Structure 1
Amino acid sequence: MCPCVMPNKSAESRCMVFYIGKLQKKSSEEKLFYQLAYKSLHKVRLGRKTSAGIPHEGAEEGLFKQYEGDDTDKQQTYIQWRAAMEMDILARLTAGHRTTIYIQPIGTIPASVLNFSLEINNECMPLLDILRCFTEIFFTPKQATVLPAVHISEAGWVIGERTSKLTGEPQLLVRDFYPYLFKRVPRDGVCIMGLSWLDLYPCDKLNFVLGESSCAHKAGVFSFGRFDSRVPQQPSEGVAVDGPMLWQLLKTLTHEVCHLLRLEHCPFFWCTMNASHTVREAMEQPLFLCPVCMRKVQKVCRFSLLERYTNMSTFLKQVNQQCQFVKFMESIEWLEKVMNFLMQTNNPR
């Protein structure tokens, strides 16, 4: 038995299972990784805020910082998520023969954006393939496929539209896309994510949304967001992809796909599944899942934590070399910490 695991019949053990599930079949390093979450949450319950630390010599800060947002009363533990998955027939199918996440471009995207490319793994990847590649790493071993673009008027879609009072730019009503995207999910589709150049709004009362999804339709939509450089009325001119834009696209895409796997917003740690109310808030949040959320996604996808983190580190290093952004650098540094933790746990001195 791992020395950090408490007796199965204890109240502490039952509480740990509630947050992160049973760990008997996990490797020793993955057990300790997930127990970081429980140890930190347990200390918070006792009134001692902390970070989930790295238990090896020289560690000075934790891997996972406690979330301090306003919605910490809304919690979805692993057991609660598992119950939601088991009640949803479509979600259960996700773990079986549904193996592909589809990305559906919507409308006209500027040529300068589509032609933006980076060299990843000795391959010149345009923007949509960069999104596809990262999606495959994040949800490995699921596959990702970019579908041919669909144009709203040509497809006969009826989508709500308005002019933003804040920006003066056109916006599209995100929920109107769901029924149409649902019909375009192939038989092997885990879900489908529409990508719109134009801004999105969720309802009349709210100004905008970077992305939104519907589990009932296995569909979501995300947009390029509110960048000063874009020119919606002249989408073929004057737009350049930079680090912040790419960061936001990667974050919003993976966040919404996690929602389609029945993950709710995370109130436990700073995590890519935290709720956000502004673009700045969304940009500041990490690109990674906390242990509670990771446990859910790993259950669906069944990946090795160390292999997944290694592939993600390789990808982000190549991205940052060609499209530098401080958040990519911070992510690479964090990945080094978590990989060192997993490797040292697996190979103790």
Structure 2
Amino acid sequence: MQQDFTSRRSSSHQVQCARRDALRRLLGASLGAWWLPHVSHGQSAPALFRIPTREQQLAAVGPLDKLPLVEQRAFEITDDFQTIRAPKPADWLAQHKERRQTFESFQRTPRNIPSSIANTIYVLPLGAFIEGKGPALTDLQEFAGAYFGLPVKMLPGIPLESNKAITRRTRDGTRDEELVQYLSTDILKAMLGHVPKDAFCVIGITMEDLYPEESWNFVFGQATYADRVGVFSFKRYSPEFNGEEWNDETRRRMLRRSCHVLVHETGHMFGITHCTWFECIMCGSNHLGESDSRPMHACPVCLRKLHSSAKFDLVARYRKLLTFHEKHGFTDEAAWVQKRLQRLGTSH
């Protein structure tokens, strides 16, 4: 069953662009907003994406010779990392022009950095999470903690249906069913009152569908980098939404997708932009097929950016990720992490 990932076009392209620009201004420095344009397979890309050369990739990672040996091995470009592929017409890089962010340019960019006071990632459930009908919150907490090497805590949830400060609308869904949606910008405003003093950021997660303004069909999520809050929906990752049954395989797939988007968007909170160097968890995605094709790990460039801010133990991080992948049957990622541990000169 083909899923519709396009957002509705306004009657005037200029009006749509003006609304989009106004929305971006409202969100401030928003690195995590996913807006999904109408895709025309005959439409020319805004700019021809060029596959990076190995020399460009090496320059993006930066010099490693003065780093400790374990860091040199962790950030070294090896066959474990696949160079980013050329985008297909409907893919992210065919529709969006991305500025390449090297480790050096990342270091020069003003960004949020965890401190001894504010170093906790908070996850804020929005609406109901029914057992067996979505990702387990404890699993999301465990994966984020392993990935970032920072404390990850759950906040008490916020109800959506009874919250008068959050606008909702109902429209026909993909199968002629009513689809309730919540205004993401309202949610972001409401979340500002739920940022603890020790928070590095607060990530809101929900099983409800979101929209950013009336002219859009939906949005996967949005984040305000300056305010360190973001909201992301798992609704369209659900087997039910895609006409599938709940079983072990579809639950595993939904958990993978949910973990992927959680750490991808939290990665933006660190100032990491979309990766254009390798197949990486930080690559932009325009549709589920593209997102599913991305790995759950960071490339050498993005890993070095993250490590420079979070300061985690690289070996301990990979061991925790391996435990998670093995527990949940993510066999490809588990095998990949095992190779990385061997590369770092240790066994799991």
TM-score by length of 1: 0.71
Contact 1:95 1:301 in 2 (8 A): no
Equivalent position SS for 1:289: coil
Aligned residue for 2:345, secondary structure, equals helix
Corresponding residue for 1:34? 75
Q: How does 1:161-172 map to 2 (within 5 A)?
A: 161-163=169-171, 166-167=174-175, 168=177, 169-172=179-182
Provide, for residues 73-99 of structure 1, a one-character-per-residue CA deviation record: whole Å limited to 9, x for no partner.
Answer: 521111222222xx34xx14x234212
2:82 to 47, 64, 85: 64
1:304 aligned partner? 313
Partner of residue 98, structure 1: 118
Match for 2:107 among 66, 72, 82?
Answer: 82
Change beyond 3 A, Cα 1:182–1:17: farther
State the AA in 1 paired with 2:300. P
CA distance in 1, matches of 2:186, 2:63: 40
Quick one: which of 112, 121, 139 aligns to 1:130? 139
Query: Of residues 244, 253, 268 in structure 2, which corresponds to 1:259?
Result: 268
Which amino acid is 1:100 matched to?
T
Native 8 Å contact 2:123 2:155 kept in 1: yes
CA contact (8 A) 2:166 2:182 kept: no
- Asked if 1:211 is matched to 2:231, the reply is no
How much identity, in percent, do the aligned residues show?
25
For 2:291 and 2:172, the matched residues in 1 are separated by: 20
- The residue matched to 1:151 in structure 2 has which SS? coil
Query: C-alpha offsets along residues 106-163 of structure 1, whole Å, 9 cap, x if unaligned?
Result: 112224447x8xxxxxxxxxx11111111110010x1011111111354442235352
Return the alpha-carbon distance in structure 1 between the equivalents of residues 324 and 131 of structure 2.
24
Q: CA RMSD in A?
A: 2.9
| Contact 2:238–2:254 (CA under 8 A) maintained in structure 1 | no
Distance 2:212 2:277 in 1: 26
C-alpha contact 2:270 2:306 (8 A) present in aligned 1 = yes
C-alpha distance in 2, partners of 1:16/1:284? Answer: 21
User: 1:56: which partner in 2?
Assistant: none
Task: State whether residues 104 and 146 of structure 1, in contact with CA within 8 Å, keep that contact through their aligned partners in structure 2.
Answer: yes
- Residue 209 of structure 2 aligns with which residue? 199
Q: Deviation at 1:248?
A: 0.8
Structure 2 counterpart of 1:177, which letter?
A: I
Query: Which ranges of structure 1 fall in alignment gaps of 5 or more residues?
Result: 1-13, 37-51, 54-61, 117-126, 232-237, 321-327
1:342 corresponding residue in structure 2: 344
CA distance in 1, matches of 2:213, 2:260: 22
Aligned to 1:11: none
* Residue of 286, 289, 295 corresponding to 1:277: 286
Q: Is the 8 A contact 2:237 2:257 kept in 1?
A: no
Contact 1:194 1:220 in 2 (8 A): yes
Secondary structure of residue in 2 paired with 1:195: strand
Shift of residue 257, structure 1, vs aligned partner: 0.4
Q: Which residue of structure 2 lines up, in the alignment, with residue 150 of structure 1?
A: 158
Q: What's the CA shift for 1:221?
A: 1.3
Compute the TM-score of the two structures, normalised by the length of structure 2. Answer: 0.71
Per chain length, whose mean CA-contact separation is higher, i.e. which structure has more relative contact order (CA < 8 Å, sep 6+)? 2
